[in-house]
Amino acid sequence: MHELSLIANLFEIMEEKAAEKNAKKITHVVLQVGKLSGVVPDLLITAFDIYKKDTMASEGELTIKEVPLKILCRDCKTEVVKDDFVFICTKCGSTNLKTLSGTELYLEKMELEID
Amino acid sequence: MGKDEKMKTKEVMVLEDLLGSNKKIAAEIRQKLTDTGILTINLLSSPGAGKTTLLESLSEILAPEYKMAVIEGDIETERDADRIRAKGIPAWQIITGGACHLEAKMIGKLLPEIPADLDFLFIENVGNLVCPASFDLGENIRCVLLSTPEGDDKPKKYPKAFTTSDCLVISKTDLVSVLPFNIERAKKEALEINPALITFTTSAQTGAGIKELAEYFSESLQKIRRTNA
């Protein structure tokens, strides 16, 4: 359950950005979570709801955008979305691959209430 | 009511990494230790896969020739650090008090105590095959252990630990004759999710494979020192 520690980091970033904009409240938060980020989206939501009490986001909602694991084969230049974690090109069998997306753990955007 | 009407809502794009601060601290640690000529190894596994025992065995091969030290991460007790100290190896115990993984800032706090004349710094992470995989500690080599009693199906069940590692150690191979564990199948599964993994099979009981692993660490140490020179 490292999700709680990630949510603590999220609140640090959120509060810093919200203060820069002189916001009063954080009403909505969108995270990008890659398939290979090593976190469980449902647990992030649970951790968010525990953590938000007595913060600027006490009434805020969290939306999670799941990002697929996408790889590029450097040999045959095919782009593949992987449902498993097998790092072998499905077209030519090469293991010379580059991960294009799927490891993200980003705060994408927030909705703020400003005076 | 009147006050609420004046409130404006505004959408702000941020696009910031939740692990950004950990990655930054880890990069600073890696830079500092590598510049000092110390090779840092982060050991990951489930509880009981044999990380401390592996370190005890490695110390017998490495300690006569090299200076090594160990940072131990556990939820409670100094037991693991005491086992390492009993071998004459300096050890620091980080007691996380419930946290399921080590973070770079915990290692950063210990950095001033790490002697500059070390060759190897081993970090034994909290026993957990899930959470530690997300946190870079500033290591040069991430090494995941998979012990034979755990079963050969673990790499695909816990992909993050295996995709982020540089080397895989299949431990407790002396038990393989009494277990339904297929070493080749475990290696194949691990290599499918991370073709760059360097694999070792070890038994701390018979000593098999420990020398090869120690050689891999020694060669990796020479590599970072050549790059520094």
Please check whether residue A83 touches B, CB under 8 A.
no
The pLDDT score that the predictor gives to residue B2 is 46
Q: Which tokens is B174 given?
A: 């002396």
Residue among B12, B13, B131 whose CB faces A2 most closely: B131
Q: How would you write the pLDDT of chain B (229 residues) with one tens digit per residue?
A: 444 556 789 999 999 999 999 999 999 999 999 999 999 999 999 999 999 999 999 999 999 999 999 999 999 999 999 999 999 999 999 999 888 999 999 999 999 999 999 999 999 999 999 999 999 999 999 999 999 999 999 999 999 999 999 999 999 999 999 999 999 999 999 999 999 999 999 999 999 999 999 999 999 999 999 999 8
**B203-218 burial, b if ≥16 CB within 10 A, otherwise e?**
bbeeeebbeebbebbb
Q: Helix A3-20 to helix B20-35 angle, to the nearest 10 degrees?
A: 110
Domain A3-67+101-114: give its CATH architecture. Answer: 2-Layer Sandwich (3.30)
Q: Which tokens is B201 given?
A: 């099979």
Which residue, among A20, A66, A14, A17, has the nearest Cα to A40 in the 3D structure?
Answer: A66
The SS3 of residue B41 is: strand
Please check whether residue A88 touches B, CB under 8 A.
yes
Domains identified in chain B, total number: 1
Phi-psi region of A102 (alpha: psi -120 to 50; beta: other; left: phi over 0): left
- A114 and B10: CB-CB below 8 Å? yes
Q: What is the ipTM of this complex?
A: 0.92
The Cα A48–Cα A40 span in angstroms is: 12
Q: Which residue of B has its CA nearest to A110?
A: B12
Examine the pLDDT at A74 and tell me if it is beyond 90.
yes
The Cα B8–Cα B170 span in angstroms is: 58
* Residue B1 resides in a domain: no
Please check whether residue B229 touches A, CB under 8 A.
no
- B19 and A6: CB-CB below 8 Å? yes
CATH number at residue B73: 3.40.50.300
| Domain interval for residue B47 | 25-228
What is the secondary structure of chain A as a DSSP string?
A: -THHHHHHHHHHHHHHHHHHTTEEEEEEEEEEEETTSS--HHHHHHHHHHHTTTSTTTT-EEEEEEE-EEEEETTT--EEEESS---S-TTT----EEEEES--EEEEEEEEEE-
* Residue B18 resides in a domain: no
SS3 labels along B103-151: CHHHHHHHHHHCCCCCCEEEEECCCCCCHHHHCCCCCCEEEEEEEHHHC
- B134 and A37: CB-CB below 8 Å? yes
Query: What is chain A's length?
Result: 115
Which residue, among A78, A80, A55, A61, has the nearest Cα to A70 in the 3D structure?
Answer: A80
- B156 and A106: CB-CB below 8 Å? no
Place of tokens 């969290």: A62
